[in-house]
Amino acid sequence: MRRGFVLFFHNFSTFLGRAGIYLEDLYVTPEHRGRSYGKGLLRQLARIEVERGCMWLEWWCLDWNKPSIDFYLSLGAEPMKDWTVYRIAGDTLAKLAQ
């Protein structure tokens, strides 16, 4: 029985000249939440991070997702205040592609 999963990939900082890991998705099935499965998944991802010599683990979280934010803060995660996410999509993307 699957209780959850983590989807991640490497990223690279040109500022630091080092690799990190970007956590694309962390999912624990609703019936298994609150039982430390999410923490266990992140702990294993941190082990992979350290074994590979990476410098950080980062991800996005929607600002209204208080349960997830509280969970991440409980692990010692810090919100990145110096970065803004930008996106080009739809007609704007098509126009840029011309």
Residue 86 is a catalytic residue: no
**Given the residues 22, 27, 72, 86, the one annotated as active site:** 72
Alpha carbon of residue 75 to chain centroid:
13
* Residue among 93, 87, 83 nearest 13 (CA): 83
E strands present in the chain? 4-13, 18-28, 57-58
Active site positions, annotated: 72
